[in-house]
Structure 1
Amino acid sequence: MEYMIGAYATAPSTQLWDQELETNYYQELKSLSNIVGLEHPFVGRLHPYDDEWFLQNIDNRWQFIFTSIPGVMGQLAHNPHFGIASTNEAGRQAALAFYQQAQQAILKLNNHLKREAVSYLKIHTAPKITEHTQSSIQALKTSLETMQSWNWYGAKLIIEHCDAYIVGQEAEKGFMRLEDEITAVKQVNSKLNSDIGISINWGRSAIETRDTNGPIQHIKQAYLNGLLKGIIFSGTSDIDGPYGQWKDTHMPPAQALFLPCYAENSLLTMEQMKKSIQQCNYQQLDFIGAKISLSPNKASVAQRIGYIKSITALLDHVLEVQ
């Protein structure tokens, strides 16, 4: 099986740019034969630090999924009304302008590789819902219709579900409920004959529901509605520790088999991965992958690659026994 890997989360340069370390890391990534491509962070430009470095260091055979969540969270830090689902029109328009920048980044990558290299653009239903900032299905539908009219140069739009706003619960993202995202997508797809999809991040669904059944239910819900395009496995914990309690810190999986790289107290167990995959026909999905971080973020390039090898080996085992 081949996987999409959110390698940016495991990279040496998550906070400070070290070109030499990052170059070594990408060289090792390119040696992993079971990686079909990368989930790549979009922050307003092609690469957070250096577009040209990125173009020179990627594997020309890789496929890409752009994820807008790092950029969306950065925008929300300055403008809490920002988001494609925002009932604040200025905030909604700011989000559309941000995604037009993503359109140009996709074009730049395609031009370099001389092919349509981006399969999906993951979009997110900001803003964070609070007393002062609200979202609506209608606002989301309006944004999706606008975005679907643009040329995405081979990429498809996909909503990555993040933990939704729950009354009385501290949110990590606090975006829209999955039910509302599904409603908006199905109505837009029906109206435009489009193929906007949904993807589930295991950890974010567990964080929302405070339960390992959350990802299972979300995967099943998206699948039964005909919208599930992919699953990314990323962990979390219900116990405070290096990765926090119910935090979106991309925790590695729990110990399993004889794999050397894991995280104590991770709720992402091999059994939970099996249960998640069983909620859908995984062979119909467009991607399966993983995104993990290290906390504290102190490790050699070899150790970082070791964590990626461990979670892909775990996925291989899970999928082989289905």
Structure 2
Amino acid sequence: MGYFLGAYAASANVSGWDAQLEADYYRGLAGLAEVKGLEHPFLGQLHQHDDAWFLQHLAPHWDYVFTTIPGVMNALATQPGFGLASTDPAGRQAALDFMQAARQAILKLNQHLGRQAVKAIMLHTAPARDKVAGSAACFMASMQQLLSWDWQGAQLQVEHCDAYLPPQLPSKGFLSLSDELAVLSQLKQQGAAPVGVVINWGRSVFEGRDPAAAIAHIQAAKDAGLLAGLMFSGVSGEDSAYGAWRDSHQPIRNAQAPELGSACSWLTEQQVGAALKAASPVEHLSVLGLKIGVRPVTATVAERLTLLQAQLQILTQQQALISSISPVNGSI
């Protein structure tokens, strides 16, 4: 099976914009057989730098999952009340306006490709609650409005980020998974279109400071019948080029080729397997994939592609090991 790749996190364009460098990168990405599509970052328009460039460089077979987290974090830097769960009316309206722009970007991409290429859009329950209050009630109101819009067939999904758990310093500090599941369960009971939860391994582990936290979050979403996706991104409490307790998308630790992974990542091959087993049957997930960063930041395009290929192979190998697991109810 193929995977969605959060390729933007591994781009050589770590600052500024070099169209030729990115074109070389996209040509290489198109040759990665395990990639069925991209997790595409939304920051306010279809492409952060150049819509026309983006549309010209897409592999024809790719599908897309939009993620709003880069745009959300940019907005929070200047408007702390921004967010779909915000108790600040102006901040919540700004987040809804942002989502309306995302809807237009989805329409533009689908129209260019002549098909429903965007399968899902992942949204987030900002604001950071250590700065401005967020609530399940406000998130419910936002979701009801979002579900009234035409999303061109793309599923709305909530990607859980680390919750605000004082005195722990958060990376995102959004709503708790239990609050998110409660809102989505209520929407489901009301007969709304299905909205599920995507678990990001690294962000759940960042929250719990324990790899077991990712498994617990997967199980909670399954128990609620709301597990819609699983994205692999590593994290570690050990200082390294990726930073200690940073949402910097550490690669999977690679036992066979340590240089093609992160030696201190808590995301090991065994942890990948355990998460896939907990989420099974993963064939029912609408989002399954990998998002990693690359260090050093001076790595060439070729070095980045080699690392991505090795990481995708780990995911493929671990999925093959659990492919015989019997289907389990609980995914949407």
TM-score over 0.5 for the alignment? Answer: yes
> Cα deviations across residues 158-189 of structure 1 (Å, max 9, x unaligned)?
00000110010000000000000000011112
Aligned residue in 2 for 1:174: 173
Distance (Å, rounded) in 2 between the aligned partners of 1:259 and 1:3: 22
The residue that corresponds to 1:37 in the other structure is 37
- 8 Å CA contact 2:198–2:287 kept in 1: the answer is no
- Deviation, structure 1 residue 257: 3.1
Q: CA deviation at 1:32?
A: 1.4
Q: Which runs of 5+ in 1 are unaligned?
A: none
Letter in structure 2 aligned against 1:5: L
Q: What's 2:3 paired with? A: 3
TM (normalized to structure 2)? 0.95
Equivalent in the alignment of 1:63: 63
Give 2:74's aligned residue: 74
Residue 257 of structure 1 aligns with which residue? 256
Could you report, residue by residue, the CA deviation over 1:253-293 in whole angstroms, capped at 9, with x for unpaired residues? 11223475111211110111111111122222123100001
- Tell me whether 118-127 or 292-301 shows the greater mean CA deviation: 292-301
C-alpha deviation, 1:74, in angstroms: 0.3
Partner of 2:84: 84
Give the 5 Å matches for 1:182-261.
Answer: 182-258=181-257, 261=260
CA distance in 1, matches of 2:198, 2:134: 20
Q: Secondary structure at the match of 2:260?
A: coil
C-alpha separation in 1, matches of 2:304 and 2:72? 26
2:296 & 2:314 partners in 1: Cα distance?
A: 23
State how far apart, in whole Å, the 1-side matches of 2:115 and 2:259 are: 38
Work out the percentage of aligned pairs sharing the same amino acid. Answer: 43
Relative distance call for 1:245 and 1:258 in structure 2 (3 A) is: closer
Deviation larger for 132-141 or 73-82: 132-141
Instruction: Find the aligned partners of 2:259 and 2:129 in 1 and give their Cα distance.
Output: 40
* Shift in Å, 1:192: 3.5
1:280 correspondence with 2:273: no
Aligned counterparts of 1:321 and 1:171: Cα–Cα separation in 2? 35
Q: What amino acid maps onto 1:216 in structure 2?
A: I
Contact persistence 2:147–2:192 (CA under 8 A): no
Partner of 2:117: 117
SS at match of 2:198: strand
With 108-117 and 10-19 compared, the bigger mean Cα shift is at 10-19
After superposition, give the CA deviation of every residue in 1:179-210 in whole Å (9 maximum; x if it has no partner).
Answer: 00000011112214310110011100010011
Q: Which residue number corresponds to residue 95 of structure 1?
A: 95
Shift of 1:222: 0.8
Aligned to 2:143: 144
Aligned partner of 2:329 in structure 1 is: none
The aligned runs of 1:293-304 (5 Å cut-off) are 293-304=293-304
Task: Provide the C-alpha distance between the structure 2 equivalents of 1:258 and 1:124, rounded to a whole number of angstroms.
Answer: 35
The answer on whether the counterparts of 1:260 and 1:310 sit within 8 Å (CA) in structure 2 is no
Counterpart Cα distance in 2 of 1:237 and 1:280:
22
**Secondary structure at the counterpart of residue 122 of structure 2:** strand
Residue 31 of structure 1, CA deviation: 1.1
The answer as to whether partners of 1:8 and 1:14 remain within 8 angstroms in 2 is no
* Amino acid in the other structure paired with 1:145: Q
- Structure 1 residues 221 and 170: alpha-carbon distance in aligned structure 2, compared to 1, 3 A threshold: same
Taking the aligned partners of 1:194 and 1:152, their CA distance within structure 2 comes to: 11
Letter in 2 for 1:223: K
CA distance in structure 2 between the partners assigned to 1:163 and 1:267 by the alignment = 16
Alignment check: 8 A CA contact 2:24 2:301 kept: yes
In structure 2, runs of 5+ residues without a counterpart are: 323-332
Say if 1:259 and 1:310, in contact at 8 Å, map to a contact too. no
TM-score with structure 1 setting the length = 0.97
Alpha-carbon distance in structure 1 between the residues aligned to 2:286 and 2:157:
11
CA distance, structure 1, for counterparts of residue 296 and residue 48 of structure 2: 21
Give 1:321 shift. 0.9
- TM-superposition CA deviations, 1:123-152 (whole Å, max 9, x none): 00000002x511111100000000000000
Contact 1:235 1:268 in 2 (8 A): yes
CA distance in 2, matches of 1:125, 1:108: 25
Show the counterpart of 2:48: 48
Q: State the distance in 1 between where 2:68 and 2:255 align.
A: 31
Q: Distance in 2 between matches of 1:254 and 1:34?
A: 19
